[in-house]
Amino acid sequence: MKANASFQEILEEKMGVKTATSSAGIADGSPANMAFLLGHIRVFRFEKPTPNPFPRPAPRRKERATGPAHSLSSEQAESKKWFILQGETLAEDFLRAELKTAFRRLALKLHPDKQSGSIQAFLELKKHRQILESLFTPENKPAAPIR
């Protein structure tokens, strides 16, 4: 076999075939047809994939840190109730990250550029978020437990 032989030359040499044809109905001369025929005459082989000897373990779900329930003012309780009415869930001791994800989901839904969004609804969302964010300001944070 020549060093730089084409598919067609290899087929002519190995099988005595002038044109590449197969019973699979693949068009003559197509790369798929050539690969089919070359696979049959074992010019090249497709390696079976080997399983990964070091599989990654399944990711662990993080346990949510729980703490004491927030002591909410009436305004903050109304804001939390508004988030819940919009379809978001906030636990009694919600974290800042949970508030952030709830805000982002609602911001995507209520954004004025969206078809169903309006400016008033989006401004109301921002107002309620700011009210609940006030829980996490440094003067409102509970003291760290003493060890």
Q: Which fold has domain 74-136?
A: Helix Hairpins (1.10.287)
Would the pLDDT of 136 be above 90?
no
Quickly state the pLDDT bin for 128 (edges 50, 70, 90).
very high
Of the candidates 107, 112, 94, 103, the residue with the CA atom closest to the CA atom of residue 130: 103
Tell me, yes or no, if the pTM score tops 0.85: no
Report the half-sphere exposure of 4 (CA within 13 A, side-chain side): 0
Say if residue 43 is exposed, middle or buried (CB neighbours under 10 Å; 0-12, 13-18, 19+). middle
Quickly state the pLDDT bin for 61 (edges 50, 70, 90).
confident
pLDDT score, position 1? 53
Which tens digits make up the pLDDT trace of 19-47? 545 454 555 666 666 666 666 555 555 66
Which tens digits make up the pLDDT trace of 76-125? 999 999 999 999 988 888 888 889 999 999 998 888 887 777 889 899 99
pLDDT (mean) for 119-132? 91
Domain boundaries, the chain: 7-40, 74-136
144 versus 62: the higher-pLDDT residue is 62
